Structure 1
């Protein structure tokens, strides 16, 4: 049975204002899938009016947990709407079509994780420094507005064709700091976030800095620390172990 959530949800004027009324099928052409995840798929596309190439993340809100999916879409759109910074992905609007939200953003050639996969070797120190500098600029902006990304990793740091660093994927972000939700990707999660699961401990923007540090190790060694551990056991290892360091003596 089709979900009626948008019909009900859009009765609220503030929610309705989050979405453009046009049919995205008529606004964008040449859709080509460039990425896929648990959230759905990302496409490159061309704006029929300006010929600009954009990225479109399609998010379905049907099926199981449809209410939660719809709420997550609204949260992400609200978040993206207020972000304006050179090192954060530029949001261009959101449309609804056949129980799917189309989040339109600036197009990037790929993620830093893609670099590792394509080149099949660690990045150089200068490359890591440049990526980290751009990511820190974006995080400084978020943190100055009491926002926490909560999912910093190489896969969520994008690069434009000109080499500019862009933070992306704000599906798990918090618009307030401190926060207390247990969210993130296991190997990159800070101890404070893991402790929030059972102890309801609060944490602040510093958890993004931890994740960025883990990302630096990921770029230098092709994988984050503890990657050989299961995602379940890694939580106790992060809490009980010393802060991770580079394994290679070459650094």
Structure 2
């Protein structure tokens, strides 16, 4: 991996914010190439005892590569921060695309599902459980294809099952929440895929509550409701993916044989970008409207942009707010 430090980049604006990190749009000074820089504050990570997840992300992202996964081009650290510098995906994330376009057509859902299945299958062959599949972690590149990002909650499976409770609650499988029995395995990613497909057609997650305990109860004990237009084929796939018993849930290989994908003649063609994306980003690298506006439309403070660890304000950076064609 190439060497770099933060002084080699111009940081423009906050485009995403997670539990332990902030992500900025940046440009490398010597090449004028745009990147996304994830900045993690060491003190906060140490206080929350999450250093193992930073190290896990570094370990996973240094393994074998796949075209549907975001990998760092540079990694470095300062006294108070870790930095991961990755390619900048000009299409933003699937969450923002979904919000801009509204409910997806089923043929579009099929396209994204195929790409996600390819990415998850690759991770599973590397003995990695993703554990955090959700729209905000699915980026869109210049071809309109997806790239999974944010591997801090992923798990390298050294044995057949694991017991750690990690992930975003709305997308967590019941066996993760139960914390009893034999733990869980790769099937938790299949559950999250079911939640994602449901959200893309229903415009909301299958299980929702502002109360954490109630949400957990809904995930563990209730069935999703289908009070909206949906084909029998997609409904059947979602129902099977959201089986409470992971032994009744199909694997990624089995998913490919479902009627929802019966018109897909060549799964491998997606790996070589031979299938046209339903939404092709207009490539304007300084246009960041495709990320959550909660992060891109307000000036942020408290983070230095010059490599020092002093408080500073990020200069305003506004893109074209017209919607994607």
Q: TM-score range by the shorter chain?
A: 0.7 to 0.9
Counterpart residue number, 1:9: none
How far, CA to CA, are the matches of 2:122 and 2:21 in structure 1?
28
Q: Per chain length, whose mean CA-contact separation is higher, i.e. which structure has more relative contact order (CA < 8 Å, sep 6+)?
A: 2
How far, CA to CA, are the matches of 1:63 and 1:30 in structure 2?
21
Q: Given the alignment, which residue of 209, 216, 220 partners 1:239?
A: 220
Counterpart residue number, 1:166: 147
Task: Trace 1:94-109 onto structure 2 (pairs within 5 A).
Answer: 94-109=75-90
Counterpart residue number, 2:323: none
- Per mean C-alpha deviation after superposition, the further-off stretch among 175-184 and 129-138 is 175-184
1:234, distance to aligned residue in structure 2 (A): 1.5
| Superposed CA offset, 1:27-50 (max 9, x none) | 212432111222221111112233
Task: Trace 1:213-224 onto structure 2 (pairs within 5 A).
Answer: 213-224=194-205
Counterpart residue number, 2:193: 212
Q: TM-score, normalised by structure 1?
A: 0.83
How far, CA to CA, are the matches of 2:32 and 2:144 in structure 1?
22
Secondary structure, counterpart of 1:82 in structure 2? coil
Task: Trace 1:145-164 onto structure 2 (pairs within 5 A).
Answer: 145-164=126-145
How far, CA to CA, are the matches of 1:124 and 1:67 in structure 2?
41
- CA spacing shift, 1:208–1:27, aligned 2, 3 Å: same
How far, CA to CA, are the matches of 1:83 and 1:231 in structure 2?
37
Check conservation: 1:217, 1:246, Cα contact below 8 A. Answer: no
Secondary structure, counterpart of 1:178 in structure 2? coil
Counterpart residue number, 1:114: 96
Counterpart residue number, 1:133: 114
Q: Structure 2 unaligned runs (5+)? A: 232-325
Check conservation: 1:156, 1:168, Cα contact below 8 A. Answer: yes
Task: Trace 1:2-151 onto structure 2 (pairs within 5 A).
Answer: 22=4, 24-63=5-44, 65-66=46-47, 68-109=49-90, 110-119=92-101, 121-151=102-132
Q: Does 2:206 align with 1:225?
A: yes
How far, CA to CA, are the matches of 1:51 and 1:116 in structure 2?
30
Counterpart residue number, 1:10: none
**Largest Rg, 1 or 2:** 2
Q: Does 2:162 align with 1:179?
A: yes
- CA spacing shift, 1:103–1:115, aligned 2, 3 Å: same
Q: Structure 1 unaligned runs (5+)? A: 1-18
How far, CA to CA, are the matches of 1:32 and 1:211 in structure 2?
30
- Per mean C-alpha deviation after superposition, the further-off stretch among 230-239 and 126-135 is 230-239
Higher fraction of strand: 1
- CA spacing shift, 1:108–1:65, aligned 2, 3 Å: same
Q: RMSD in angstroms over aligned alpha carbons? A: 2.1
1:168, distance to aligned residue in structure 2 (A): 1.0
Q: TM-score, normalised by structure 2?
A: 0.65
1:229, distance to aligned residue in structure 2 (A): 5.2
Secondary structure, counterpart of 2:68 in structure 1? coil
1:250, distance to aligned residue in structure 2 (A): 4.5
1:72, distance to aligned residue in structure 2 (A): 2.4
